[in-house]
Structure formats: structure tokens, C-alpha cells
Chains A and B, each alone.
Chain A
């Protein structure tokens, strides 16, 4: 079983719809990251959160540490939101002084006009 599971794998929505992408993980983490990979391949960080909820524009990320689950919501979706959304869990290793991410396989979102 992968440490990080995302659902759905693919999602098609009509412009204006409310979108939810889910992420479940099986290990203890320091923080959870949501990233966006554009159709051209570039990757940008959207959120890094260790508790509660964060909002940026039309994007909202939530995390439930007890249930080991996070959601990414997009309100009033737009065709420019079409991308792959990647969930990653971050763990720190005090001995090595390092912080490493384990990634989910991504959710491909297509928003149709």
C-alpha cells in the first residue's frame, strides 16, 4: 500500500463547479503539501499545512491529523485550473537534519468551459 493515496485519479468538471480532491496517508507526518503541475510540466507549491485549514484565492486546503486525511477544494472552477494536483507528506529526520517528501500519484483535473 502506498504511503500517500489520492482520489480521484482523474476528474472532469464543468466550469463553475466546486471541486474536491482527497488525500489519505498512512504514516506520521510533519506537514502535508499540495502542489500543482501545469500541463507544460512545471510544479508549484500551493499549500503546506500541519493542522486546520488554509485558503488562497479560490483554493482551500484542509487537514485532519487524527484521520490522516487532507482535502483540496477549488471553488468556482475555471479552465485555467486544469492541471495535475499532487499531495505529498513531509517528514523530518532529526538525526540527519533532513526533511523529505513522499508524493501521491496526482489527480488530473480537467475543467471544461
Chain B
């Protein structure tokens, strides 16, 4: 199993450009998450999904969009990139059922710089 994979690893964007961060997991996990990590701060939840077709906002959703058309994929879309979106982005997944929750598995991260 590859686990959770993210592409790209690094990206530099100009202000106002758009891009999609890709996230794929091969563990048949139903829950998926997008986090951002800024220097000196804890990870913050951007969006999450509890299954295909179901997504919801986290703590810091402004400037981002997500979709979940399949169990495996959970892309994060940045529209009109701003310098405040410079960060390291992590995708994570976990399996939950019948009210029981499990540990999250993290992707390797995408380092994004907006200039």
C-alpha cells in the first residue's frame, strides 16, 4: 500500500493564480482531511470529508474548495492564491465506523509559496 500520497511536493504560485493539490489514499478510508501548518502554529483543519460526496468546512476554509467524488481522492482547490496561503498542506485519512474513530494517516505534505 502506498498509504496517503500528495502531489505536488513543492509549488510556487503567483498572487491570483489557481491550483489544485491532489490527495489519494489506497486504504479504503472513509474519512479524509486537509490541514495547513504554518511556522510556530499547530495544524489547522481546512476541510474534511466523511465519505464520497460529503464534505464540510473546518476551522480555516476561506480561499479553498474541496470535492470528494471517490473514496480514494480528495483534491483541495485554491482559487485566487494569496500570500496568506503560503503554508505546508497535509492531507490525512482514517477509517471510522459505528461511532468508533481511529488514528489518522498523513501524506508527505505539499509546500506552497505564494509570491
Contacts and interface: CB of A to CB of B under 8 A. Distances in A.
Contact of A105 (B31, B40, B92, B94): B40
A102 B94 CA distance: 15
Mostly, the A contact residues are: strand
B105 A45 contact: yes
Contact of B50 (A35, A96, A104): A96
Contact of B103 (A2, A33, A42, A102): A33
A98 B50 CA distance: 6
Contacts of B50: 96-98
Contacts, number: 60
A41 interface: yes
Interface size bucket, B side? Answer: 20 to 34
26 contacts: A4-B42, A30-B101, A41-B108, A41-B109, A42-B108, A43-B90, A43-B92, A45-B106, A48-B103, A88-B42, A88-B43, A90-B101, A92-B99, A96-B50, A96-B56, A98-B50, A98-B56, A99-B31, A99-B101, A100-B58, A101-B43, A101-B45, A101-B104, A105-B40, A105-B41, A105-B42
